[in-house]
Structure 1
């Protein structure tokens, strides 16, 4: 009986994790908002509010593992660096902050 309960609990946890795995569009909104928060330049904030989502969408790759996703955004060409983020439980957890490229 304990084994059956463990199996049901595991399946329930996997279901919850997969149901709360955030989508790419949510990540693009989140990273755009974070970039605008970090910028102190009004011109840069204005640019991000107009074209930020399409720029972040073009520079982002998503690895979907069903129960979570890993997003990698690379802007070394623009001088902003790279950021790696895990998406789980409808939240985004940065694994690395913007790292300046060489």
Structure 2
């Protein structure tokens, strides 16, 4: 994850550079947008961000949301703990059950 813009209001944007894909499609660098709590008010801020995946050789839309907290150690090192939810576009309401992981 690379954050390129951090707004005064806690909003941020950047890109997600994933590791090797687990499917036949190659995952490309994908845009992300999110927000975090004000670090001047909260020393261990919560955050959320959304990634709209860019896949080579695929027309299936995929979006993942991440929600978590940034822990800052005494040495200033940041560690993100997050949960995620992946959603693929479904062809119909009947296919909706398998579109979220």
Q: What TM-score results when the alignment is normalised by the length of structure 2?
A: 0.43
Higher helix proportion: 1
Query: More strand by proportion, 1 or 2?
Result: 2
Q: Which has the higher contact order (CA 8 A, sep 6+)?
A: 1
